[in-house]
């Protein structure tokens, strides 16, 4: 089973404010995506998943309105997911400071219990201007544990000038993982520019998973991706917590991201690098995510 753990469903109506439009333009430009490729609904993502051979995509709703003018309601996301319940899984994360963090945790509970969301994501400390280890947001983590759902946290650079990098440092998650050992944390994007820090976080904390969303071949050379992945695997002592297909759709294409993972044996051979077993490759392509999502 091939699973994309980190995709988005960007509908044009989420981007009506000038600030949100500028956000979309900047993202699309950076990743070399056209407006036609950037926006779309459930039908479009399914068509693209079919082309790329992806069975299931986890689509993450974003609540960045307070700081970035960008909002996707959990109801809207749930309506799209319902059109293809066997192919799409919804995650939704609140901005803890749109209301009080306690009320945000209640909204998360509603999204999970009433709308069928299966996780909290994409939780965006840098997008919403707070540190992941800020004790005021702990009600969100407590709610994830209570609901027994994973949380995917953005840790990466972003081209938006309004998103402070200081909030994206993966080491902030050290406190969170220590304080909440039962919280299933997905450290997104391999920690962006702080890959080494992220790898050590994932080594230390067995409740931490990593994805490499956005590291598609349009952004990072496949060999460079592979050597980074080997670094995580070596430090973590396993590849079972590496959640492989991560397109950050629509920013990278399903097919190219799947093909890169499938080409790892060839890259290892050509470059004389350590090899991954077939089981590890199928794990990274989807089996690891399936276990986390309780699909197997
Ligand atoms: Zn992200």
Per-residue pLDDT of the chain (296 residues; tens, 9 = 90+): 999 999 999 888 888 889 888 888 899 999 999 888 889 999 999 999 999 999 999 999 999 999 999 999 999 999 999 999 999 999 999 999 999 999 999 999 999 999 999 999 999 999 999 999 999 999 999 999 999 999 999 999 998 889 999 999 999 999 999 999 999 999 999 999 999 999 999 999 999 999 999 999 999 999 999 999 999 999 999 999 999 999 999 999 999 999 999 999 999 999 999 999 999 999 999 999 999 999 97
Residue 91: what pLDDT? 98
Distance 131 CA to ligand 1 centre (A): 15
Residue 77: what pLDDT? 97
For helices 101-113 and 74-83, give the axis angle rounded to 10 degrees.
Answer: 20
> Could you give the CA distance from residue 49 to residue 65 in angstroms, rounded to a whole number?
28
Distance 8 CA to ligand 1 centre (A): 10
Residue 11: what pLDDT? 87
Pairing of strands 3-7, 56-61: parallel
Distance 191 CA to ligand 1 centre (A): 10
Residue 296: what pLDDT? 79
Distance 154 CA to ligand 1 centre (A): 4
Distance 158 CA to ligand 1 centre (A): 8
> Could you give the CA distance from residue 28 to residue 34 in angstroms, rounded to a whole number?
6
Distance 272 CA to ligand 1 centre (A): 32
> Could you give the CA distance from residue 216 to residue 207 in angstroms, rounded to a whole number?
25
- The first and second tokens of residue 102, run together, are 């306690």
> Could you give the CA distance from residue 190 to residue 196 in angstroms, rounded to a whole number?
9
Task: Report the number of distinct structural domains present in the chain.
Answer: 1
Domain assignment of residue 112, given as a range: 3-292
74: Cα separation from own chain's centroid: 17
- The first and second tokens of residue 22, run together, are 């500028």
What CATH number did the domain enclosing 208 receive?
3.20.20.140
Distance 63 CA to ligand 1 centre (A): 12
Distance 6 CA to ligand 1 centre (A): 8
């Amino acid at each position: 089973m091939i699973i994309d753990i980190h995709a988005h469903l960007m509908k044009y109506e989420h981007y009506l404010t000038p600030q949100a439009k500028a956000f979309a333009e900047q993202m699309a430009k950076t990743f070399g995506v056209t407006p036609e490729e950037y926006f779309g609904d459930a039908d479009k993502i399914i068509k693209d998943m079919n082309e790329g051979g992806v069975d299931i995509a986890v689509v993450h709703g974003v609540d960045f309105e307070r700081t970035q003018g960008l909002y996707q309601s959990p109801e809207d996301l749930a309506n799209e997911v319902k059109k293809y319940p066997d192919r799409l899984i919804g995650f939704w994360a609140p901005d803890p400071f749109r209301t009080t963090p306690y009320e945000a945790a209640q909204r998360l509970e509603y999204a999970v219990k009433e709308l069928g969301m299966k996780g909290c994501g994409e939780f965006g400390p840098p997008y919403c201007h707070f540190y992941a280890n800020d004790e005021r947001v702990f009600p969100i983590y407590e709610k994830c544990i209570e609901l027994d759902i994973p949380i995917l946290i953005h840790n990466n650079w972003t081209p938006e000038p309004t998103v402070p990098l200081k909030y994206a440092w993966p080491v902030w998650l050290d406190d969170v993982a220590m304080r909440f050992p039962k919280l299933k944390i997905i450290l997104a994007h391999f920690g962006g520019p702080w890959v080494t820090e992220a790898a050590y976080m994932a080594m230390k904390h067995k409740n931490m998973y990593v994805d490499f969303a956005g590291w598609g071949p349009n952004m990072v050379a496949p060999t460079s991706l592979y050597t980074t992945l080997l670094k995580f695997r070596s430090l973590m002592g396993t590849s079972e917590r590496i959640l492989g297909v991560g397109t950050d759709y629509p920013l990278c294409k399903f097919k190219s991201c799947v093909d890169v993972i499938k080409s790892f044996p060839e890259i290892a051979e050509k470059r004389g690098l350590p090899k991954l077993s077939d089981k590890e490759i199928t794990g990274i392509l989807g089996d690891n995510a399936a276990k986390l999502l309780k699909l197997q």
